[in-house]
Structure 1
Amino acid sequence: MYFPYLRGKQFELIALRELCTLFPDDLDKISPVIEPVKPSSTLSSTLGELANRNANFNIIINPRVGDLKNQYDEIIQIISSALSNGYTNYQLAVIIHPETERNIQPLIDFLNGLELEYNGITLIHKTEISNQNIQLLHNELNITYNLIYFSKTSRRYYREFDQSTLVSLDDYFEELSRNADYLNQESDFSNEYRFYQQDGFVGFSDFLTIGDTYSESGFLPRAVAIHLSYLDNDRIKVKHFVSDSNEDVSDIGGKFSEAISKLVIWCDQNNLNTSAINVFRDLQQRGHFPGLGTLKKLSIINHIELVINNI
């Protein structure tokens, strides 16, 4: 199973919502991980749509970034309101970070005191904790999944957990400091989708074509970059399509036109077709610039569709 890890920003959430419509028969192949970063109607409607489609998901109650950091009660209220119809096919997710080690029992007490019905707990290990605390968590909570962030833990740490709960997590997106730096570039991503079961995991997770770095952004870029996942000899790679007129922040629509023309030509040459790529083709043909957020949304949808079609 695939566990795409997304921050709860507007267009990440819209991508998940649209996926429910685009791939209704494949939702059993994915279990999105949502780290909410701000309270919004989009967050509530996305949770509601996932529930309407009986899609399994993981909602983090202790986000490490954004406006909802440390706002546990507010997050629980959002979940309760969005899933007021008694939906239970989801996991509450908890990020294990350095502070968690010092507050294991209060965390357990908080979770056990919640008046919510859900499928279990997902632990996201962004740091290692002691064997004693691992046992305490598993003895007192219903742990469904352990997502092990391999770049943040030792390679042997995952062996401390029941194999039936193991999900591999890593950041495979090669982030560069500026959009213009991606010009004429492609990046290796991963082939985890092929080997996660052989390696003893029940699922795998990544940060898609966004990466783990969190930014509120909001500024106009000098260059427009579209990051497109594709399959090359059974390995996922990312092709970067970047505008050429990158001297200043003017004419974002023109920069988009330059980038999307490159994307469409390359996809046509390589006979690539996904739902997102077909939308890119339509945008290019109509000469329509939908906004930078929509580019991110389409990149997310393309990545998830690529994984769904190959697991």
Structure 2
Amino acid sequence: MYFPYLRGKQFELIALRELCALFPQDLSKISPIIEPVKASSTLNSTLAELANRNANFNLIINPRVGDLEGQYEKIIQIITSSIPADYSNYQLAVIVDSKTEGSIAALIEFLNALDLNYKGISLIHKTELNSQNIELLNNQLNIVYNVIYFSKTSRRYYREFEANTLVSLDDYFEEQSRNADYLNQESDFSKEYRFYILDGFVGFSDFLTIGDNYSESGFLPRAVAIHLSYLENDQIKIKHFVSDSNEDVSDIGGKFSEAINKLVIWCNEKNLNTAAIIEFRDLQERGHFPGLGTLKKLSIMNHIELIINNI
């Protein structure tokens, strides 16, 4: 099963919501991890749509970025107002890091006091717990998934947990400091979709074509970059399509046109067709610039569809 890790920003959530409608028969293959960063109508409608489609998901109750950091009660309020009381096909997710480590008992008490009808708990391990805390969590909570962030833990840490709960997580996106630095580049992403079962995991997770780095900034870029996942020789790779007129921040629509023209020509040569690529072609044919957020949405949708089609 695939566990795409998304921050709850507007276009990440819209991508999930639209995928529910596009691939209702494939929702059993994914279980999104959502780290909510802002209370919004988009977050509410996305959670409601996931529940409406009987899609399993993981909602983080202790986000480490955004406006909802430390806002436990507000997140619970979002859950109760968005998800029907009788819906249980989801996990509350908890980030395990240095902040969590010293408050395990309080965390358990908080979770056990909740009057919510959920499936169980997903722990997102961004640091290593000691054996005593692991035992305490296992005894006091119904742990459905242990999501192990491999870049943050030792190679053997995952062996502390039951195999039927294990999900691997890592950041495979090779981020550049500027969009222009992606010009004429492509990069390897991962082969986890092929090997996670052989490696003893029930699922795998990544940060898609966004990466783990979180930013609130909304400044205009000098270059427009579109990141497109594709499969080549069993390797998921990322092709980067970047505008050429990158001297200043003027004419973002023109920069988009330069980038999307490159994307459409390349996809036609490769005969690639996902729902997102079809929409990219339509935008290019109409000469319509939908805004930078839509580019991120389509990149996310393409990545998830690629994995859905190959697991």
Aligned to 2:163: 163
AA at the equivalent of 1:126: K
**Quick one: distance in 1 between partners of 2:259 and 2:217?**
20
Aligned to 2:217: 217
Calculate the TM-score normalised by the size of structure 2.
1.00
Aligned to 1:275: 275
Aligned to 2:187: 187
Aligned to 1:309: 309
**Quick one: distance in 2 between partners of 1:137 and 1:201?**
20
Aligned to 1:109: 109
Aligned to 2:24: 24
Question: Is residue 64 of structure 1 aligned with residue 64 of structure 2?
Answer: yes
Which stretches of structure 1, 4 residues or more, deviate above 4 A after TM superposition? none
AA at the equivalent of 1:240: H
Aligned to 1:246: 246
AA at the equivalent of 1:31: S
**Quick one: distance in 2 between partners of 1:84 and 1:190?**
36
AA at the equivalent of 2:192: E
Residue correspondence of structure 1 range 38-53 to structure 2 within 5 A: 38-53=38-53
- Residues 145-168 of structure 1, C-alpha deviations (whole Å, 9 max, x = no match): 000000000010000000000000
AA at the equivalent of 1:232: E
- Following TM superposition, by how much is the alpha carbon of 1:84 offset from its aligned partner in structure 2, in angstroms? 3.0
Partner of 1:239: helix, strand, or coil? strand
**Quick one: distance in 2 between partners of 1:138 and 1:85?**
26
Residue correspondence of structure 1 range 245-264 to structure 2 within 5 A: 245-264=245-264
- Following TM superposition, by how much is the alpha carbon of 1:85 offset from its aligned partner in structure 2, in angstroms? 4.2
Q: What is the identity percentage for the equivalent residue pairs of Structure 1 and Structure 2?
A: 80
- Asked if structure 1 preserves the Cα contact closer than 8 Å seen for 2:230 and 2:238, the reply is yes
Stretches of structure 2 that go unaligned for 5 or more consecutive residues are: none
AA at the equivalent of 1:33: I
Aligned to 2:74: 74
**Quick one: distance in 2 between partners of 1:217 and 1:42?**
19
Aligned to 1:207: 207
**Quick one: distance in 1 between partners of 2:101 and 2:94?**
12
- Following TM superposition, by how much is the alpha carbon of 1:101 offset from its aligned partner in structure 2, in angstroms? 1.2
- Residues 156-184 of structure 1, C-alpha deviations (whole Å, 9 max, x = no match): 00000000000000000000000000000
**Quick one: distance in 1 between partners of 2:257 and 2:269?**
18
- Residues 186-213 of structure 1, C-alpha deviations (whole Å, 9 max, x = no match): 0110000000000000000000000000
AA at the equivalent of 1:9: K
AA at the equivalent of 1:161: F
Aligned to 1:152: 152
- Asked if structure 1 preserves the Cα contact closer than 8 Å seen for 2:11 and 2:297, the reply is yes
- Residues 84-133 of structure 1, C-alpha deviations (whole Å, 9 max, x = no match): 34211000000001021110000000000001110000000011110110
**Quick one: distance in 2 between partners of 1:269 and 1:4?**
28
- Asked if structure 1 preserves the Cα contact closer than 8 Å seen for 2:85 and 2:116, the reply is no
Residue correspondence of structure 1 range 114-125 to structure 2 within 5 A: 114-125=114-125
AA at the equivalent of 2:149: Y
**Quick one: distance in 1 between partners of 2:267 and 2:109?**
52
**Quick one: distance in 2 between partners of 1:288 and 1:145?**
42
AA at the equivalent of 2:229: S
Aligned to 1:232: 232
**Quick one: distance in 2 between partners of 1:217 and 1:292?**
13
Partner of 1:151: helix, strand, or coil? helix
Partner of 2:152: helix, strand, or coil? coil
AA at the equivalent of 2:183: L
Partner of 2:197: helix, strand, or coil? coil
- Following TM superposition, by how much is the alpha carbon of 1:144 offset from its aligned partner in structure 2, in angstroms? 0.1
AA at the equivalent of 1:32: P
Partner of 2:238: helix, strand, or coil? strand
